[in-house]
Amino acid sequence: MCFCILGCTSNVGRIKGVYNSRKDILFLFLNKSIFRDRDGHTIFVYTYNTNNQRNQYVFDRRDGELFLFRDSISFAPDSILMIENNRENKNYVPQLKELVKSLLSKMDSLHITDVSSDFIKKGVSLKIYLKGEGVIVYAPNMEDVKGVEWRKYIESMKKLDDFWYYSVEE
Amino acid sequence: MGNNPILHSDFGGDTAIIFGANGNFLRFQNDGRQGFSGKAITGVSSKVSMEGGAPAISAKIHYRNFKLNDPSLAAQAVKNGVMNRVEFISNEKIQKQLDRSGVESPEAQNSPISYAWQGAAGGLMDYAIAGARAADLNQNTLYVTGDIGYDIADFGNFLFGRGMADLGVSYNTTVIGAQYNHIFNNRFRSHDAAPIFDLGPGTFDPNNPGWFDAETDQRAIFNGYSSSPREKQRQNRTWDQIDSYMKGWHPNQN
C-alpha cells in the first residue's frame, strides 16, 4: 500500500511534468512515434505525414552510439523531421542521428519511455508512455476520436484539460 | 482495469473475424459459436441451375478457418482498428526468423542455455522485436501457423518456443526460463508489454504483468516448441523406443 501511494505520487508528478512541457512535447513529438525495446538496444522512429504515409528509421544502440540499421522511406523529404532523407545527401544520416539523440534525451529528461502517433487515425494524436506506471494521451478533438472503444478508453481516463488525459493504471 | 479485454468479449455471437482473400479485415460475423475465431476467404464458387425454367445463380464463399491463441485480445485489437490484416505465414518465413536468431550456429548449439539466456531478454531471440526491426513482422497483422492465429507479441513467443526446441533445450527448462525472464526482466522493470506492440484499448497493460507468464504466452511457447522438426524427431524416436520395448510384451507378463 505504501509502495502504491509513493509510486502513484511520483507518477502523478511525472505526469504533471510532461503536461507542463506540453508545448515542447507537441512541437517535438507530434506525428512521430519513438519506441525502444526493453534493453534500449533497438530504437524505432516512425513519422507520419498528412497522407497517412509512414517513414521508418530503425537504429541500433551500441556503446551509447546510434547506428542506422534500416530506413524505409514513403515520403521525401521528411517534412516531419525536416530532413532530406535520401542516401545521396551525405548529411542525412548524421543529421538524423543527432535529431533522434536529442529527442531521446528530451524523453529521458521527462521520464518518457516511448511516444506513439500510431493512433492518429483514431483521433489520438499522441500517446505518451511513462517510466513505471502511467500514460498520457493527447486527443485534440473528441469528435475526431473514431470508434466506441477509443471513446470509452479516453472517457475512462482522468482529464488534465480538454485535450490531455492520463491514467496511472495503464 | 476498465479496459480489460475480457469485458469486451462478445459472448452472444458475432464471433468470427472475417478477412478477405487479400488478407484485409472485412467484418465480424455471427457463426453461432461462443468465443472468437478467424476465417479468411479463399475463393468463391458459383453454380447455375434451372429453377422453374429460369436460370438461377448461387454462389458459395469458401473459407479457411483458424483458431486464435488469445481470442479476446485479437478481437479487441481488430475492434480497435489496430489489427487489420491476416498472414498465413510460410515455413520459409518462420525459418528466416530462426536463422536470424542464430540458433543453428555452432556457438548456439555448443552452449544452448547460455545462448538462450543472452538472447531471450532482448536480443537475437526476442523474435517479435527482431522481426519488427527487420520489417518482417508488423503490429497490424495476425500471423497464422498450424491453424492458430497469433498477434505479433505471441508470435514472438511461438518463435521463442521453436527456437528453444531447435537449440535442444528441454521444454521444462524453456518454461522455467520464460517464467524467470518474465519475473525478473519484465515484472520488476514494469515492461511486460512493449509499447511498439500496443494494439489499443483493452490490449495493453505494461504495469500489471502478474507474477507468472500469461497462459496465452505459455500456449504460444508450447505450440512453437512442438512445431520444431527437431522436437518432432525426438518425439518419434521416443515412440519408436516404446514401440520396440512393447514388441516383446504380452498381457500375461508381469
Beta bridge partners of A37: none
Distance CA B128, CA A92 (A): 28
pLDDT at B190 over 70: no
Question: What value does the mean pLDDT take over residues B116-142?
Answer: 86
Cβ distance B202 to A149 less than 8 Å, yes or no, reads: yes
Flag whether pLDDT at A67 surpasses 90: yes
Which of A56, A116, A146 is opposite residue B198, by nearest beta carbon?
A116
What is the predicted pLDDT for the residue at A36?
93
pLDDT number for residue A115: 97
Question: CB-based contacts of B214: which residues, under 8 Å, 6+ apart?
Answer: none
Provide the 3-class DSSP secondary structure of residue B123: coil
C-alpha B119/C-alpha B104 separation (Å) is 13
| Cα A140 from chain centroid (whole Å) | 16
Alpha-carbon distance A67 to A60, whole Å?
5
Whether the pLDDT of residue B11 is over 60: the answer is no
Does the ipTM exceed 0.90?
Answer: no
Burial A36-61 (b: 16+ CB within 10 A, else e): bbbeebbbbbbbbeeeeebbbbbbeb
Q: How many domains does chain B have?
A: 1
pLDDT in tens, A104-137: 999 999 999 999 999 999 999 999 999 877 899 9
Question: Which residues have C-beta within 8 Å of that of residue B8, sequence separation ≥ 6?
Answer: A149, B72, B75, B76, B79, B202
Partner-chain contact A149 B204, CB within 8 Å: no
Residue-wise pLDDT for B203-248, tens only, equals 876 555 444 557 888 899 999 999 999 888 887 877 777 877 777 7
Q: What is the largest CA-CA distance in chain B?
A: 76
pLDDT at B206: 54
- Please count the CA atoms within 13 angstroms of the CA of B174 that sit on its side-chain side: 27
CA B35 – CA A26 distance, rounded (Å): 41
**Residue B205 in contact with partner chain A when CB distance is under 8 A:** yes
Among candidates B1, B194, B202 on the partner chain, residue whose Cβ is nearest the Cβ of A38: B194
Helix (H, G, I), strand (E, B) or coil at B22: coil
Residue B8 has pLDDT above 50, yes or no: no
Q: What is the mean pLDDT of residues B101-117?
A: 89
Range of the domain at B231: 5-43+57-241
Q: What confidence score (pLDDT) does residue A2 get? A: 43
- For residue B201, say if its preceding peptide bond is cis, omega within 30 degrees of 0: no
Pairwise pLDDT comparison (B145 vs B56), residue with the higher score: B145
* Beta carbons of A122 and B81 less than 8 Å apart: yes
Closest CA to B137 of B165, B101, B170, B171: B101
Contact B3 A156 (CB under 8 A): yes
**Does residue B76 belong to the interface with chain A, where contact is any CB pair within 8 Å?**
yes
Q: What part of A 32-61 touches B (C-beta under 8 Å)?
A: 35, 37-39, 41-42, 44, 56, 58
User: What is the DSSP secondary-structure string of chain A?
Assistant: -HHHHHHHHHHHHHHHHHHHTHHHHHHHHTTEEEEE-TTSSEEEEEEE-TTS-EEEEEEEEETTEEEEEEEE-SSSSBTTTTB--STTSTTHHHHHHHHHHHHHHHHHHTTEEEEE-TTGGGT--EEEEESSS-EEEE-S-GGG--SHHHHHHHHTSEESSSSEEEES--
Cβ separation B207–A122 shorter than 8 A: no
pLDDT of residue B177: 74
Whether B155 maps to a domain, the answer reads yes
Q: What is the mean pLDDT of residues B74-92?
A: 96
pLDDT score of A149? 92
Question: How many other C-beta atoms lie within 10 A of the C-beta of residue B46?
Answer: 8
Q: How far apart are CA B208 and CA B126, in angstroms?
A: 21
pLDDT by residue (tens digit) across B152-185?
Answer: 999 999 999 999 999 999 998 888 877 766 555 5
Give the model confidence (pLDDT) of A12-50 as tens digits.
Answer: 888 999 999 999 999 999 999 999 987 888 999 999 999
Alpha helices in chain B (DSSP H): 71-79, 91-101, 106-110, 112-120, 127-133, 152-167, 171-180, 215-226, 229-247
In a domain, B247, yes or no: no
Assess A84–B contact: CB distance below 8 Å, yes or no: no
**At which residue does the C-alpha cell 522493470 appear?**
B189
Residues of B in contact with A38 (CB under 8 A): 121-122, 126, 129, 185-186, 189, 191, 194
Domain ranges of chain A: 1-30+117-170, 32-111
Give start and end residues of each alpha helix (H) in B111-228: 112-120, 127-133, 152-167, 171-180, 215-226
Residue from B177, B133, B137 nearest B155 by CA: B137
Q: Indicate yes or no: CB of A149 within 8 angstroms of CB of B201.
A: yes
Looking at residue B186, what is its pLDDT? 55
Q: What is the pLDDT of residue A105?
A: 96
Q: Compute the nearest-CA separation of A136 from chain B (Å).
A: 13
Bridge partners, A115 (sequence order):
A34, A128
**Residue indicated by cell numbers 517479435:** B128
Whether pLDDT at B66 is above 70 = yes
pTM of the predicted model as reported, rounded to 2 decimal places: 0.86
B74 touches chain A (CB under 8 A): no
pLDDT, position A12: 82
User: Residue B10 — pLDDT band, cuts 50, 70, 90?
Assistant: low
Q: What is the C-alpha separation between B11 and B36, in angstroms, rounded?
A: 9
Phi-psi region of B190 (alpha: psi -120 to 50; beta: other; left: phi over 0): left
Selecting from A35, A122, A170 the residue whose C-beta is nearest the C-beta of B196 gives A35
**CA dist., res. A97 & res. B37, Å (int):** 44
pLDDT attached to residue A170:
59
Q: Helix, strand or coil for residue B15? A: coil
pLDDT, greater one: B1 or B99: B99
Q: What is the pLDDT of residue B119?
A: 67
The residue with cell 556457438 is B107
Residues in B closer than 8 angstroms to A116, CB to CB, are: 195, 198
> Given a cut of 80, is residue B122 above it in pLDDT?
no
